[in-house]
Amino acid sequence: MSNVDIIKRLYQAFAEGDMDSISALIDPSVEWIESDGIPYGGVFQGYEAVLNGVFAKIGAEWDNFTANVDQFIDAGDIVVTLGTDSGIYKATGKKMQAPTASIWTLKNGKVIKFRQYIDTLAVTNAIR
Q: Where residue 39 falls among pLDDT bands split at 50, 70, 90?
A: confident
Question: What does the pLDDT read at residue 52?
Answer: 96
Distance CA 120, CA 34 (A): 10
**Mean pLDDT (whole number) for 2-8:** 98
Question: What does the pLDDT read at residue 54?
Answer: 96
Residue 3 has pLDDT above 90, yes or no: yes
Domains and CATH numbers, the chain: 3-127 (3.10.450.50)
83 and 97 Cβ atoms separated by less than 8 Å: no
Q: Which one, of 61, 70, 54, 79, lies nearest residue 1 by Cα?
A: 79
Question: What does the pLDDT read at residue 61?
Answer: 97
- Report the predicted TM-score, pTM, of the whole model to 2 decimal places: 0.95
Write out pLDDT tens, residues 77-111: 999 999 999 999 999 999 999 999 999 999 999 99
**Mean pLDDT (whole number) for 21-27:** 98
Distance CA 128, CA 123 (A): 9
| Mean residue pLDDT across the chain | 97
Please return the burial class of 33, using the count of CB atoms within 10 Å of its CB with bins 0-12, 13-18 and 19+: middle
Distance CA 82, CA 70 (A): 6
